[in-house]
Every structure is written in C-alpha cells, then in structure tokens.
Amino acid sequence: MTQMAGRKPGDLEHAIRGETRLIGGLQLYRPQLNAAVIEDLLAWPGRGELGALVARLEAHIKRKTFFDAYAEAMVARHLLQRGCSLRFEVKTPAGRTCDFEVSSGDQRFFLHVKRLDTDRPKQKKLAISSRLRVLERIERPYVVGVRWREDLDDDDMQRFVTEASRFIGHARVGEEHVALDGHGRELGGVRIVAPSDGSHVTLAIGLPSGFIDQTRRISKLLRKAYEQFMPKALNVILVCTSHEEDVADFETALLGEHVERWDTFPPRGRRIAHGRAADGFWASASRPDSTVAGWFHFVPSNADMRARLWFREGAAIDPVRQQWLEGLFDGGRR
C-alpha cells in the first residue's frame, strides 16, 4: 500500500510506478474495481466538487468506508453520463448533508445514497428433489420459501414434503414452519413469503442455513437518509446492497410486511385480501416528505449500475418528473 504521508488530497498525478496514478484506497482496492470507472474518476479532480469525492476515495483504506464512497462515485458517474449537473455534500438548514444535488434543465432533486454489506452465504448448486414439485400443485396463491438440509435421504425428503404440504394448506402470510425428523433433528423449513398472482404455490428456494432477512438493517438506512432530507424539495433515497435477492427485503422495509387484511374486500376470485403491515417506512402517513426511493445491486467490478425505483402510492408526483426519474435510472419500473 502506498504511503499517504505528505500527499495532498486529490493529488492523483503522483505516480506509483509511473503509470497507475492511483493512491490510497483506490490503489488498495483496485483489483476489485472496474478499470473504466477508475479512469473516469481520475478526471474528476478538475471538475469542482467531484474532486472531494475522489479525495475521499483516496483517504479511506477501511473496506466499509471506501466502498460506501465508491457506491456514491458509481451513482455520480451514472448521472454525469446522463447529462446531469451535480453538487456534492450539500448542506441542509439543519446542518445535515445531502450526498448530491442533481439537476438537469428545470428539474432538480436531492439524492441520498446508502450502502449495506449484506451477508449471504455463497449459494451452492443445490440438488432439488423432484418431490418438492408436489408443493407447486397446491392451490394456494402464495410465494412459499423452502429450505432443507442438504444430506436428506429420500425418506427424509418425503417426510419434509408431507409436513410442508400440510402447513401450506392452512398457513397465512408471514408464518413459518420447521419440520423435524423422528429424532428431533431439523429437516428443513417452510415460510409463506407473500401473495402471488397465480392460483397455485410458487416456490422460492432458500439456503440450507436458513432464510436471510435484511429488512431491519435496510429500514435503519432509510430512516437515516430521511433525517438528511432537504426541506421543501424532492428527495430521493437510493439504497444499494451486495446481493440481488436483497431487493425483496428492500421492498418490505419500504412498504411493510405482507399481511392478510380483514378490513377490506378481497379481489374477485380470492377469498382473502392482502396488504402491507404498518411497519413499512412509507406506512400510513409517516414520513410524508419521502415519495421516491430506489435500490440497486452494488457490484464494484461492473462499469454500470441500474436502479429500480418505487414511487409512493397516492403521492402527488408530477408525471413529467416521474418519467424523467425513471429514464435517469434506466427505467427500473416495478
């Protein structure tokens, strides 16, 4: 690692071997980064406030703080490529800071980028028993998560499927069941994740180690971003995480857990109405100033990022502005 002593923040022209021009965190984490992104970052010290973001990347050598800043840099690069003007770390009247002020023509918003390292075990290639397909024949309109012990023999798998079938036949959204063998050892687990559009069960295969839920950690980031909002302006929260599967947890954190609703009529052809619990970031009338939020899969080795946006139901969002935002983040409609 190159010594930082005596260097001025943003002084990227000091050579390490004459050709890299990288110092600090950029050099330390270079093998994990995208070369095209790095080359673009090297041009930023001459672009006003963006030089401060590059200086932050140089200064951070701890993994978390470096990649927090790198996520911001990826988003900034994405917006610059789409013709936006950016101001970095804009102060609010309350003394907080917005990560970016983004403007293009007569459109403007304040952006808050939050990153979460999500810990999911590396997914092995699971041998999926044909017996599990029996569960997909059950006539209940739910997404059902299933996981099982990898060393189950045929008899144990049959026992697991039988127990899972019984549970799915009467369970409600959010409920979970753990199946045990005759010796009290765990065979696997079943969870009713959410309602589905179909008439039969849709399986979501989980990891043998259990169901991973990042909802609470994402909720904390959403609340932190809200505290940094610029008043009387459009604020957009953008959360990035390490795994594609995290998008479901982001949606739950934003909108609330799936629940059965007995205070409303179900859709035609359904016996039960479903909705969202009051534990979501956007639940009821809470946090009325937040109307747009998004998520993207953070992959430092990629040159591009693509966000998926949610617009708060019932919020008065100008259609032109909504279309602009959707196009800006590559049209990630739900």
What DSSP string describes 232-283?
Answer: TS-EEEEEEES-TTHHHHHHHHHH--EEEESSSPPPTT-SSEEEE-TTSTT-
- Biggest alpha carbon distance in the chain? 72
pLDDT exceeds 80 at position 204: no
Q: Is the dihedral of CA 155, 160, 165, 166 positive or negative?
A: positive
CB 88 within 8 A of CB 100: yes
CA distances from 268 to 86, 182, 200 (A): 48, 43, 16
Q: Side chain identity at 232, as an amino acid letter? A: K
Convert the pLDDT of each residue in 143-201 to its tens digit: 888 888 878 888 888 998 999 999 998 888 878 888 888 888 888 888 887 787 778 88
* Residue ranges per structural domain of the chain: 130-205
CA distances from 187 to 18, 146, 175, 179, 323 (A): 59, 11, 17, 5, 48
Report the DSSP beta bridge partners of residue 278.
Answer: none
pLDDT exceeds 70 at position 30: yes
Backbone torsions φ then ψ of 275, nearest 5 degrees: -155, -155
Confidence at residue 332, expressed as pLDDT on a 0 to 100 scale:
44
41: number of Cβ within 10 Å: 23
Residue 132 CA to chain centroid, in angstroms?
A: 29
Spatial distance between the Cα atoms of 71 and 170, rounded to a whole number of angstroms = 44
Candidates 293, 331, 334; CA nearest to 315 is 293
Convert the pLDDT of each residue in 275-296 to its tens digit: 455 668 998 778 899 999 999 9
Percentage of the residues of the chain whose pLDDT score is greater than 90: 43
Confidence at residue 331, expressed as pLDDT on a 0 to 100 scale:
52
Spatial distance between the Cα atoms of 138 and 316, rounded to a whole number of angstroms = 41
Confidence at residue 245, expressed as pLDDT on a 0 to 100 scale:
79
In three-state secondary structure terms, 36 is helix
Spatial distance between the Cα atoms of 290 and 298, rounded to a whole number of angstroms = 23
Spatial distance between the Cα atoms of 93 and 207, rounded to a whole number of angstroms = 46
Convert the pLDDT of each residue in 39-49 to its tens digit: 999 888 766 77
pTM: 0.69
CA distances from 290 to 13, 109, 150, 233, 309 (A): 41, 12, 43, 10, 13
Give the residue carrying structure tokens 């293009």. Answer: 104
Give 224 or 154, the one with higher predicted confidence.
224
Percentage of the residues of the chain whose pLDDT score is greater than 70: 79
Average pLDDT over residues 317-324: 92
